[in-house]
Amino acid sequence: MKKAKSAAFAAALGLALVATGAFAQTIKIGFITSYSGLNGNLGPYMERGARLYLKEHQKELPPGVNIEFLIRDDTGPNPDKAKQLAQELIVRDKVNLLAGVIFTPNAMAIAPLATEAKVPFIIMNAGTAVITTRSPYIARLSFTLWQSCYPLGQWAAKKFKRVYTLVSDFGPGHDCEDAIVRATKESGGEVAGTVRVPLVNPDFVPYMQRVKDAKPDALAVFIPAGKTATAVLKAFGDLGLAKSGVKLIGPGDVTTDEELENMGEAALGVLTVHHYSAAATRPANQAFVAAWKRDYGANETPNFVAVGGWDGMAAIMYVVKEQKGKIDPDRTMELLKNFKDPNSPRGPISIDPATRDIVQPEYLREVRRVGGKLANVEIETLGAAVKDPWKELNKK
């Protein structure tokens, strides 16, 4: 009798301690992204997207479970820094999960550490196809450049006779160029030329002049989103390529939502393929954009990096809920392989269990003026559930 009483007391005490947070279980997320250096404006979009998802879904967490972000600045494309930060987060801070990363070289540098320490790594941006093959502990909730550039190349080959490509000279740029060249050739189109420009601070003018001299029907551009996109649009406009009959096309990075107003008239009519537009009229997106403006300001617009943060956080919440706050690395990866959300702001998404890469819609969009503001208007769905084409084409 005495024993039963004390057990009941202990149980009640336990409940009370959980309720007051004294026994709270904290899940630590090592969140590495870019707040400075090249396109350092992108990191805050990712962080805000992740925090907004957590805020909107906080109530779904198991009782007594908290999520803590340990935020770190990798200073742009800087693999040494990213590796050092990941090492500290794993060894010193004992994070349960790693997340974030705008830039491919940084994701590649972190991958072996995720494997060695068995820390699941949720990628919220970096888009070079090969990344997910570098560690079984990686799941990607963002995109691959092949996902946008391959359907872009197929579509462009039907519409334009000769397509020129201009890409930043690093992983995602090479992927985009390869995808467009392959799709163009497979579709019977002609590649007018290809050029790679330095990733950091390129002067686009001489490259644009070279493109203009080649007189292609379309120029497909990949550069990392952010200020670099605006610099490309400016050079394209200043050199009069549009006037000389060259259509600007690309993956959505080149008309990234948050920079449209800075791009001005030069962006009007640019055609892109991407998985996310802030202007999309899906109810899930309208709710996302409204929450964003409510919390961050009426003039603030989310972009695809923000949605990478939002959906990445949705996947993290899912594994936390399923495991009731205890993160087992291998169980986490099994759960991530089966993650789906029919209601992402971008449309229905899932993780391909074979590759741990996202499966998502790809839309053809055009920059138009909507209610006085420039917007990426979705005009056609090119694929409803696109898997990374690079992995599909290179299946053994």
Positions touching ligand PHB (CB under 6 A) are: 102-104, 126-128, 172, 224-225, 253
Nearer to ligand PHB, 110 or 192 (CB): 110
Instruction: Tell the smallest beta-carbon distance from residue 200 to ligand PHB (Å).
Output: 12
Could you give the C-alpha distances from 21 to 14, 44, 269, in angstroms and in order? Answer: 10, 29, 54
Task: Tell me whether residue 43 or residue 224 sits nearer to ligand PHB (CB atom).
Answer: 224
Dihedrals phi, psi of 348, to nearest 5 degrees: -70, 130
Cα 320 from Cα 309, distance rounded (Å): 16
- Specify the residue, 127 or 237, whose C-beta has the smaller distance to ligand PHB: 127
CB of 250 to ligand PHB, least distance (A): 11
Q: Hey, what's the torsion of the CAs at 297, 57, 359, 334, to 10 degrees? A: 150
In the complex, the smallest distance separating the C-beta of residue 140 from ligand PHB, rounded to whole angstroms, is 10
Task: Give which of 209, 205, 207, 212 is closest to 244, Cα–Cα.
Answer: 212
Q: Provide the minimum distance between the beta carbon of 92 and ligand PHB in the complex, in angstroms, as a whole number.
A: 27
Tell me the closest approach of the beta carbon of residue 270 to ligand PHB, in angstroms.
15
- Rounded to whole angstroms, the Cα distance separating 183 from 389 reads 11
Query: Which of 228/344 has CB closer to ligand PHB?
Result: 228
Distance separating alpha carbons of residues 85 and 107, to the nearest angstrom: 12
Nearer to ligand PHB, 75 or 128 (CB): 128
Cross-strand partners of 122: 99, 139
Torsion angles phi and psi, residue 121, rounded to 5:
-125, 110
Tell me how far apart the alpha carbons of residues 99 and 86 are, in angstroms, rounded to a whole number: 10
CA gap 388, 145 in Å, rounded = 8
Is the CB of 230 or the CB of 332 nearer to ligand PHB? 230
CB 49 within 8 A of CB 313: yes
Q: Which is nearer to ligand PHB, 172 or 202 (CB)?
A: 172
For residue 328, the minimal CB distance to ligand PHB (Å) is 29
Cβ 307 to ligand PHB shortest distance, Å: 13
Ranked by CB distance to ligand PHB, the top (closest) residue is 224
